[in-house]
Amino acid sequence: MIVGNGAVAEGAGAIIDAADFVVRFNLSRNTARSGRRTDAVAVCNTGRPATEMLDGPEWRDSAPVRAACEIWSVRDPEKFASLRPQLAVSHPELDDFCDDRTEDFARFAAENGKRHRVIPALVHAAADAALAPHAPGAYVVPSSGLVTLFQVLTEPEFAGAEVVMAGFSHEGWDGHPFAAERRLVASLAAAGRIRLMDASSPSLFPPSLSPSQGA
């Protein structure tokens, strides 16, 4: 289960908690409805989100982080360092976007008996390549949710697993190509590579089907 921070259906928590492995994101703000099980917390390990999590007690002391056995840093440090010069020209307001806190997350994980892994730049590149046919337009980077999805789909550890996404609205910061991500995720579901949990009921179905038609 890959659980975003968006809306989930009432009753979805029990299904999510029954999964073999649950990944949540950053501050995991929807755990009241989306269950309690957390095996990994995927984090934005650069810029303001990283600082917000690391420098305050809310993230460190949250139930999902305490429960997780792994912390996943979504942003490869070398990849984001390479973005800094071009962003200085195209998006000067993102002057701290590439500030790297990966080692701080690694230290936190080690101090708390958790595994730390960095999602490699090759996974980020695979997400970029998969977005290209879906008319993403100009964007800064794919969302953490999409990069994490591609990590799960390409990681041998999860080979053969049924991958379910819940809590994703594909809306938010305009630096992510959310409309294209929605189309890409729909195409992956239609091809049978993932399943989606409906936000209005805890059914699992491809987006081409209505909830009443879904499996």
Predicted model pTM: 0.91
Average pLDDT over residues 185-192: 95
User: What are the beta bridge partners of residue 73?
Assistant: 43, 118
Q: Which pLDDT value is given to residue 147?
A: 98
Which of the residue ranges 28-32, 74-78, 101-105, 108-112 would you say has the lowest mean pLDDT? 28-32
- Whole-angstrom Cα distance, residue 194 to residue 82? 31
Neighbour-count burial for 94-121, b at 16+ CB within 10 Å, e otherwise = beebbebbbebbbebbeeeebebebbee
Q: Which pLDDT value is given to residue 32?
A: 78
- Please give the structure tokens belonging to residue 214: 């879904």
Q: Which pLDDT value is given to residue 209?
A: 44
Q: Which pLDDT value is given to residue 207?
A: 45
